[in-house]
Structure 1
């Protein structure tokens, strides 16, 4: 029976779940009760900080226009030079990015592998859910989580390796693997449209299951996916599909039906140079679900110039977007050590000291501000500009100092209003892995990166609607699954 990288349920991943593998056997053991299946789901279905195969987004921030090579002078050490040269392939949208990165960073191939490991894990849960003992509520809660997670993983994958839905839904997306069995043959890629249909089906199943449960089981502060997470993800999916009414409807559910609340930055103490408020943490009032490991955020931050400057900074265009009185500039972006004018490309995560990220903390989150931004954009594009302005100003009221003149937006209509909302989205969600996906659905505009290492800066340009907006499938994956067709690759820049 032929096995390939896409289809194997990884034994090492499953071995962490008590009793999932029979002793002295390499065959799968079917759990007999819902407690065992729930433990299995937690062990092989969730992207947690200390998980071995948990990298979902590593380096994606290097692709967008919120990051730039530092303007500081200095040399890269001989130790870090191979890493820097490999990272340059990603930063320049080079079609050989994964092959070069994997020479020094094994985690980058895990973007594909990690997603499918998790998908196979949740598929195992869905395959066995009817074979275990347990109450209706216990089994339904586990099943709802599994559908929610699978929808999330498929959605992430298709937006990395498939063309934007609103540009070419008939383009090749990613293979839909819907069971935990080992296939007799390789699996071809489904279209982007087919993947989106499956995502909505999975999220719809999750939502229906959650809604049959008591309210206290629909959302629990236990680091598991939940009904408001499903609703926020459905809002995101519909936004990408340009289904404005459904995007607005589900965003409004998240805002109105739950007790999450926006953090008023006016109530927080301005952080000092070595102390930052962690917005991505389980105690934040606007956090709906936490996931991911720090490797996603700091995959490229370890390479530094002499004097320990990071080689990457927040782009000047992003920083210029934070106008006077906007507290997000103080809270959302770190400064390099004690340098007030050098901004680093992260800032909402928990730190252990200086600007070192805490490796035991979650790296990403579904947060309430996205629901506000989804709602205001969808309303504006659907012609409900009064709602769009109200929701936009509700968010901005918590982001600017109380005495900031002009913090309330008024008088904007049409494209000007949409542009303002999308700029607000850029500022609010900076470095949370939204910007690259947003640029894709905005029409794939031309963006530029400059690499300043060496005597002469090198400029790389991603042209409008460039094939580079869809990442190549790693060659190691192509070698394992011969049914895959590679994406159209841009010429090396």
Structure 2
């Protein structure tokens, strides 16, 4: 049963654009400003980047997001409700129960970030959240408040941490490092800075920052020493077009990638120093054969569009194979999360120590930061945007920080975004609509404003 939950994170759901968590990661990125859709191609995720899909209660992707995370919760609840009475060693039962509790916390956490107003650390958070589900049920319940949802999330993740240790069978499974990483994300979103920093430090223990060689290896291998949590895709279980790499890689020969190579915002790219090894993960001259990074031609076919600032970060197994392991948590995220939490909590000195440790690994010429206060926080956030580009964090970051969407002055294509260059912070459009199937099936459900 637990392996079924692990697998649900990367299998195809209702359509090829719904490869589990990889599909959600893509949606959260293309709704933001740092990942650029360079063409229409076959229109996958175009409506999402225009901020239309998530506001449509009839959209298949809205149904998918709701169903996917609640399916994880439902399966976790079956385990939690029955594992104590199962036969077997207590240590194994603890590990299984701990992972199920962590999944329940993680799935509720994703749901409340998508379908509710943002958590306001200075408020009572009585705004409608999502239904809390902690036992096997067949009927939907009413929406709990955002504060109630976060209380349950924290209860579950703390219970998971108490049951887990460093051991596990594979990186697709949840151990105490992953659970602490989830706790760090929750605490950061709630503005609990000291808790976030402490949990992030525990999460990255034993996971060193990757080398330059690993940085250029395609972000497709769960054996990368920096990866804390990720799904391994077995070669003979290819999901073809229902794959994270079928949309985000540089080389898989899908219609979407051939006509819509994903690029970095040139405004963000220009913030990367030339001495930073990450600058080579994108090619600002891809459209110019004489200046193009040879890697782009080496891994793509002649009929692939070459667009400036296109990514070479994500590499699929081959032109005919979308196989690739999908990352959900890395040590880099935890370094930057810890530094951000320390800085926002007023501990500039320690934040600088953590930032310097991270940045010097990415930029050999980095001399250490002299920033303090708001400038230090901004430096950390720029590092976070560069490092985690394409990995599913930016929409959540904009929402938790109550920042606007701003795509102006960059390389976004008007034909793709259809004029959707800005969205003010805090509007109703930051909330996903509840899917119509849930509205019809659950008389207690209240729809978000439209």
Q: Shorter-chain-normalised TM-score: which range?
A: 0.7 to 0.9
Query: Does 2:141 align with 1:182?
Result: no
| Contact 1:346-1:431 within 8 A present in 2 as well | no
| Contact 1:98-1:109 within 8 A present in 2 as well | no
Counterpart CA distance in 1 for 2:312 and 2:275 is 20
| Contact 2:221-2:325 within 8 A present in 1 as well | yes
Query: 1:172 offset after TM fit, Å?
Result: 1.3
Counterpart CA distance in 2 for 1:95 and 1:224 is 31
CA RMSD after TM alignment? 3.1
**Partner residue of 2:265?**
315
Counterpart CA distance in 2 for 1:291 and 1:413 is 38
Residues 351 and 234 (structure 1), Cα distance of their counterparts in 2 relative to 1, 3 Å cut: same
Residues 100 and 332 (structure 1), Cα distance of their counterparts in 2 relative to 1, 3 Å cut: farther
1:420 to 379, 387, 393: 379
Residues 371 and 377 (structure 1), Cα distance of their counterparts in 2 relative to 1, 3 Å cut: same
Structure possessing the higher radius of gyration over alpha carbons = 1
| Contact 1:380-1:418 within 8 A present in 2 as well | yes
Q: For residues 254-265 of structure 1, what are the structure 2 equivalents within 5 Å?
A: 254-255=203-204, 258-265=205-212
2:48 to 72, 87, 90: 90
Residues 244 and 457 (structure 1), Cα distance of their counterparts in 2 relative to 1, 3 Å cut: closer
Query: Does 2:84 align with 1:118?
Result: no
Cα deviation 1:41-96 (Å, max 9, x = unaligned): 112454343465752315221110112342x7xxx67xx3xx36xx4432222376
Give the 3-state SS of the residue equivalent to 2:310 in structure 1. coil
Counterpart CA distance in 2 for 1:363 and 1:328 is 19
| Contact 1:261-1:286 within 8 A present in 2 as well | yes
Give the 3-state SS of the residue equivalent to 2:407 in structure 1. strand
Cα deviation 1:205-244 (Å, max 9, x = unaligned): 1111125xxx5x3x55453110000011111111111111
Residues 367 and 139 (structure 1), Cα distance of their counterparts in 2 relative to 1, 3 Å cut: same
1:482 to 443, 446, 449: 443
Q: For residues 274-289 of structure 1, what are the structure 2 equivalents within 5 Å?
A: 277-289=217-229
Cα deviation 1:268-312 (Å, max 9, x = unaligned): 288xxxxx513342211111111498847357665559xx43165
1:431 to 387, 390, 401: 390
**Partner residue of 2:359?**
396
**Partner residue of 1:3?**
none
Counterpart CA distance in 2 for 1:223 and 1:269 is 19
Counterpart CA distance in 2 for 1:408 and 1:125 is 50
Counterpart CA distance in 1 for 2:209 and 2:111 is 29
Give the 3-state SS of the residue equivalent to 2:449 in structure 1. coil
**Partner residue of 1:248?**
197
1:233 to 178, 182, 205: 182
Q: For residues 268-347 of structure 1, what are the structure 2 equivalents within 5 Å?
A: 268=213, 277-291=217-231, 295=242, 297=244, 304=256, 308-310=258-260, 312-331=262-281, 337-338=296-297, 342-344=308-310, 347=313
Gaps of 5+ in 2: 234-238, 249-253, 288-295, 298-304
Give the 3-state SS of the residue equivalent to 1:68 in structure 2. strand
1:203 to 136, 152, 157: 157
Report the TM-score when normalising by structure 1: 0.75
| Contact 2:247-2:256 within 8 A present in 1 as well | no
Give the 3-state SS of the residue equivalent to 2:317 in structure 1. strand
Q: For residues 443-462 of structure 1, what are the structure 2 equivalents within 5 Å?
A: 443-448=402-407, 451-453=413-415, 458-462=419-423
Residues 95 and 139 (structure 1), Cα distance of their counterparts in 2 relative to 1, 3 Å cut: closer
Residues 436 and 447 (structure 1), Cα distance of their counterparts in 2 relative to 1, 3 Å cut: same
Query: 1:179 offset after TM fit, Å?
Result: 1.0
Counterpart CA distance in 2 for 1:425 and 1:391 is 13
Gaps of 5+ in 1: 1-39, 271-275
| Contact 1:45-1:149 within 8 A present in 2 as well | no
**Partner residue of 1:134?**
88
Q: For residues 364-379 of structure 1, what are the structure 2 equivalents within 5 Å?
A: 364-379=327-342
